[in-house]
Structure 1
């Protein structure tokens, strides 16, 4: 960069804005608020009603730091519905007009769908109890709902129509941009930015809009904003009334290599031009280009099978292609994971900085400081954000009325505590139920940390079948001696489901997850991991999957720095701060 002064900009991701103050036309809204049920939040990987407040707070804090440029790596709307688009657009306009920020967007899989969109259906609390349904789908029915109301603007639009309200936030050029282009040239007209994609059987060929762009907002710094959504036409025999394209959620960069090869050519040209001009180039897209979970893919497949996270990990060919194209730094969202990953070959090194979500654990954004020697990253938590008292009262009423087990959510004193409780809740009520093998999940619900210590130390393996048949460890010859030395007696009776909650806190938060786990628990988990790793457990033993889980947990805890760190431009070396 021409100047030697450090330059700062902010990055955030996955705001998933839902506006509780928006007028959805609900016939029976509690306190005139459009509130999604707590029951839905407790089944989701993200929270809904707090999302707008989290985005507003992040932007206010960023402006207060004197930062003026903000990159958002997609999923800025809840699910692409009209009221969510309106709310997000209003927030970004106010941020620019009142706070003096400049917003740059990439597009996520929740913001648009293919060219014509798709239906969305959401539940809302009612003042009289229960829930009502708003939907864009005229065929939707729900016999348990207080009402089912057809509202066409609940539909998620396609692209470019769904991006039109956000055109000024990077998708179209501005007069003060030093450089702005797309993979197709400098013409911003959507019709000049289309590409062909064909169904697997070759019978359908569609021309879709690509929202990628390159912008130089300040001299010597270029943002390469990549539309990595890949919507492949379904074969004619597979098409449904409202689903004529494959969902992009699991596609990501692996599909991009096949269906958007023109992007790689453009990326290579952009990287070469940046080198020629002495500019720093940073790439952004919604999807990761490297495995953001510390190389645990093989263990996850062995332990849990083809989970959503396994499906969403990019193939090794992605990193190879981007290194060959000259990309060194890429920032992603989508997985709601705070992590750092690197890939190296003889051609260079690629670093992927994975962004946490504003609406999930851990809620945070990042400040990037660009200087001659490297890129500094500071991760800023939103834990201290106050909770909306109106929402907490509505949640309490819903929980009492419907008999919800809220798992500490209602006792939370701030946003951080709320999301800490939320991930603990979904760890056992969603992930353990959906992703983990049923027999292993059943065993985990019966175990304590003391039991795990005994299993790690016992001389004879215990089969999972025998454990479940006998209903526990009694009479199974599990070691008692030495357990206290492995796990502090004060933690011996802690349910193993608590470990599962912390397993997911580490998985999603890395450095931030470590900070969210009590020191005595971290010590116990490390000791258990070492003990389980000391044996080659038989295939049918209960210890074998437990050892895999503990090895993955160790990898989450010991990966590259992901909170505050500095990345060296030339070597790719990362130094934790």
Structure 2
């Protein structure tokens, strides 16, 4: 075996940003050197050398050639509008082509087993489930795929189904409201002009899902060597438990958890952690926080998992456990800082599993779990006295960064994980002509078209990159505190942000705005000092600018390099890394990342306790709570508030640098250790 070591993307973040220093690539695990192919094999032994399982999360499949019985409106395709897509965390149509591309890619690699980690459809409509079957069956016949599905909060949306309503794009660029609710009223508008009612839009429940998708793990098959559920049966009426809601109402709820052995030695376990709680009026609630509620409402599943993990270890099985939800804290202990800076409730502390949940998972014997739901690429390790638990988050195929995980169990205790990103997707731009009609219609109706840049995408990965940028511009930033939004829209260069952070005087909002008016990329030091003089802080500004020069000199950088990056680019780079982890570094220029890392090193001085590994809620957040970050009004903002934002950014970048590998890595399940492989190429 010849080994070539390269500088990994993780090494760049983990190493010092100072000039002339790079971190060495991580050493290889010795277990990677496998001479088992030279030894005679027991015909009855598991074939670990050829086991490969793909993990696809949050496909959000929508059938763009579906049958919603509305051919009078659009006889060619049944697609959602681009306007709807850019207002969502995911694309609605192009994921159809991305899913097919992923299947073709997996087939060419010889992968047989494919796990879908929930939200495999976009709300589980009757037509969507039929379309899913129609798309995958030819690939099953061609490549011999075996699918194993975990259901997510989008499939099904409720245990026994629920009406759904979506806007579809009409052939001329207007929209049609399509609904399964035959009692729903409708008022035409300039964009959504008509309503169409069809039962095929109905979001089906568990029973229909079990019937239509029975061959994808939900029911036993002759080819399985072993199959079981926690309920001792695979029949719908037996698979479930009584759940009590917040108002005391108790009702029976189905559960889709199962264990299948498709080949000797490989156990694939899909865990249903959708927790629907009944209400007195007959409806159901779904908070979509998974394991955090599951430990209370699905104790039977935890007990069953404890038995499954024990048997797997005794019998030498490679056990792959997956669900729709993360089982540990994700985002490198940064969820609250993301909430504080970017006011994104999708990543706040109410969605992050508590340490107690991870502890209970370890008590159940779980050593590694694959999850989705959050649309991020991430690896996290939780340890306690009983052992270790590795949670691997697979990103969504329908969002940035569109990727899937490939799992290779080299033994029951050693897993290799590779992350494959979809870049070249055939027909990724096939629907662009329809979006141009939509653009024309919106312009005629006097509506904004904020997504024109999307139609310039050069490939699928670039399309998802642009999607996140547009989502931030038209939606996400509007939730931020006004100070964050002001800095973003002012596009203030890093050099001046650093100078602001070094001011010792706690200036008010009007003084901050006055400085921002001159702090652009063409302003000289004298220009800014002159404005500061008019605010009676000239001497303070001179000291601050000198401190910035001293800081960047330590890293071998100059003023111009710190002027090339602005605050809006910091925000974009941060959110790209939140979604893609080290995968995002391929799309972000080092000319941006180096100044950002240098700036955040300076911002770290404003962390209240000087420890970037911890958060002092009382002093690090406005009002002692990260959720207050989105409530900041500019008139109430002072420089100390902005410094607290900068300190949170410093903590985010500290965690980026010290995160677990999330691209190509090994997991030693006995030790709970993760070994980075992104900096090594193997030639065997």
Instruction: State the TM-score, normalizing by the size of structure 1.
Output: 0.93
Match of 1:376 in 2: 416
- Cα deviation digits, residues 391-415 of structure 1 (max 9, x gap): 1222233234424122621111110
Deviation at 1:564, TM superposition (A): 0.7
- Cα deviation digits, residues 27-51 of structure 1 (max 9, x gap): 5555711121111111110001111
Deviation at 1:442, TM superposition (A): 2.6
Distance of 2:229 and 2:329 partners within structure 1? 27
2:464 is the counterpart of 1:454: no
Match of 1:113 in 2: 157
Asked if structure 2 preserves the Cα contact closer than 8 Å seen for 1:367 and 1:380, the reply is yes
Distance of 2:168 and 2:642 partners within structure 1? 43
Distance of 1:444 and 1:463 partners within structure 2? 18
Asked if structure 2 preserves the Cα contact closer than 8 Å seen for 1:464 and 1:541, the reply is no
Distance of 1:308 and 1:4 partners within structure 2? 38
Deviation at 1:314, TM superposition (A): 1.2
Deviation at 1:466, TM superposition (A): 4.0
Runs (4+) off by over 6 Å: none
2:265 is the counterpart of 1:194: no
Match of 1:104 in 2: 148
- Cα deviation digits, residues 126-149 of structure 1 (max 9, x gap): 223321110112324243121011
Match of 1:290 in 2: 328
Structure 1 range deviating more: 450-459 or 81-90: 450-459
- Cα distance 1:461–1:376, how it changes in 2: closer, same or farther (>3 A)? farther
Structure 1 range deviating more: 67-76 or 423-432: 423-432
Deviation at 1:214, TM superposition (A): 0.8
Deviation at 1:471, TM superposition (A): 5.8
Deviation at 1:114, TM superposition (A): 3.0
Match of 2:54 in 1: 10
- Cα deviation digits, residues 322-352 of structure 1 (max 9, x gap): 1011110100011111100110001000000
Deviation at 1:267, TM superposition (A): 0.4
Among 175, 179, 182, the alignment partner of 2:222 is 175
2:669 is the counterpart of 1:569: yes
Distance of 2:179 and 2:55 partners within structure 1? 33
- Cα distance 1:267–1:41, how it changes in 2: closer, same or farther (>3 A)? same
SS of 1:272's equivalent in the other structure is helix
Deviation at 1:272, TM superposition (A): 0.9
Deviation at 1:277, TM superposition (A): 1.2
Deviation at 1:547, TM superposition (A): 2.1
Asked if structure 2 preserves the Cα contact closer than 8 Å seen for 1:427 and 1:504, the reply is no
Deviation at 1:302, TM superposition (A): 4.4
Asked if structure 1 preserves the Cα contact closer than 8 Å seen for 2:606 and 2:646, the reply is no
Distance of 2:393 and 2:142 partners within structure 1? 29
2:201 is the counterpart of 1:154: yes
Asked if structure 1 preserves the Cα contact closer than 8 Å seen for 2:501 and 2:643, the reply is yes
- Cα deviation digits, residues 365-420 of structure 1 (max 9, x gap): 11111113611011111012244444122223323442412262111111011111
Match of 2:255 in 1: 210
SS of 1:520's equivalent in the other structure is helix
Distance of 2:241 and 2:71 partners within structure 1? 44
- Cα distance 1:446–1:454, how it changes in 2: closer, same or farther (>3 A)? same
Match of 1:504 in 2: 575
Among 261, 277, 289, the alignment partner of 1:232 is 277
2:560 is the counterpart of 1:516: no
2:93 is the counterpart of 1:49: yes
Asked if structure 1 preserves the Cα contact closer than 8 Å seen for 2:115 and 2:149, the reply is yes
- Cα distance 1:341–1:407, how it changes in 2: closer, same or farther (>3 A)? farther
2:311 is the counterpart of 1:273: yes
- Cα distance 1:60–1:462, how it changes in 2: closer, same or farther (>3 A)? farther
Match of 1:355 in 2: 394
Matches within 5 A, 1:318-467: 318-372=357-411, 374-402=414-442, 403-406=448-451, 408-434=453-479, 436-450=480-494, 451-464=496-509, 466-467=511-512
- Cα distance 1:170–1:464, how it changes in 2: closer, same or farther (>3 A)? farther
Structure 1 range deviating more: 141-150 or 446-455: 446-455
- Cα deviation digits, residues 224-265 of structure 1 (max 9, x gap): 21011000012x2xx4xxx8111242x311111111111111
Deviation at 1:490, TM superposition (A): 5.4
- Cα distance 1:471–1:2, how it changes in 2: closer, same or farther (>3 A)? closer
- Cα deviation digits, residues 9-66 of structure 1 (max 9, x gap): 2111111111212232335555711121111111110001111111111111111111
Matches within 5 A, 1:51-130: 51-130=95-174
Distance of 1:134 and 1:65 partners within structure 2? 39
Pairwise CA RMSD of aligned residues?
Answer: 2.3
Deviation at 1:444, TM superposition (A): 2.7
Among 156, 178, 184, the alignment partner of 1:134 is 178
Among 329, 345, 353, the alignment partner of 1:314 is 353
2:212 is the counterpart of 1:165: yes
Match of 1:220 in 2: 265
- Cα distance 1:290–1:264, how it changes in 2: closer, same or farther (>3 A)? same
Match of 2:296 in 1: 258
- Cα distance 1:430–1:303, how it changes in 2: closer, same or farther (>3 A)? same
Distance of 1:493 and 1:519 partners within structure 2? 12
Deviation at 1:205, TM superposition (A): 1.7
Structure 1 range deviating more: 112-121 or 63-72: 112-121
Distance of 1:413 and 1:31 partners within structure 2? 28
Asked if structure 2 preserves the Cα contact closer than 8 Å seen for 1:399 and 1:405, the reply is no
Structure 1 range deviating more: 146-155 or 386-395: 386-395
Deviation at 1:430, TM superposition (A): 2.0
Distance of 2:48 and 2:154 partners within structure 1? 39
Match of 1:555 in 2: 655
Match of 1:489 in 2: 560
Match of 2:3 in 1: none
Deviation at 1:487, TM superposition (A): 6.8
SS of 2:498's equivalent in the other structure is helix
SS of 1:224's equivalent in the other structure is strand
Instruction: State the TM-score, normalizing by the size of structure 2.
Output: 0.79
Highest CA radius of gyration, 1 or 2?
2
Distance of 2:153 and 2:397 partners within structure 1? 16
- Cα distance 1:318–1:421, how it changes in 2: closer, same or farther (>3 A)? same
Asked if structure 1 preserves the Cα contact closer than 8 Å seen for 2:173 and 2:435, the reply is no
Asked if structure 1 preserves the Cα contact closer than 8 Å seen for 2:121 and 2:129, the reply is yes
SS of 1:510's equivalent in the other structure is helix
Deviation at 1:319, TM superposition (A): 0.5
Q: How many residues are treated as equivalent by the alignment? A: 567
- Higher relative CO (Cα under 8 Å, sequence separation at least 6) belongs to 2
Asked if structure 1 preserves the Cα contact closer than 8 Å seen for 2:121 and 2:155, the reply is yes
- Cα deviation digits, residues 516-543 of structure 1 (max 9, x gap): 2111111011011101002357864312
Asked if structure 1 preserves the Cα contact closer than 8 Å seen for 2:400 and 2:468, the reply is yes
SS of 1:500's equivalent in the other structure is helix
SS of 1:232's equivalent in the other structure is strand
Q: Return 5+ residue gaps in structure 1 as ranges.
A: none
2:642 is the counterpart of 1:542: yes
Asked if structure 2 preserves the Cα contact closer than 8 Å seen for 1:364 and 1:379, the reply is yes
Match of 2:445 in 1: none
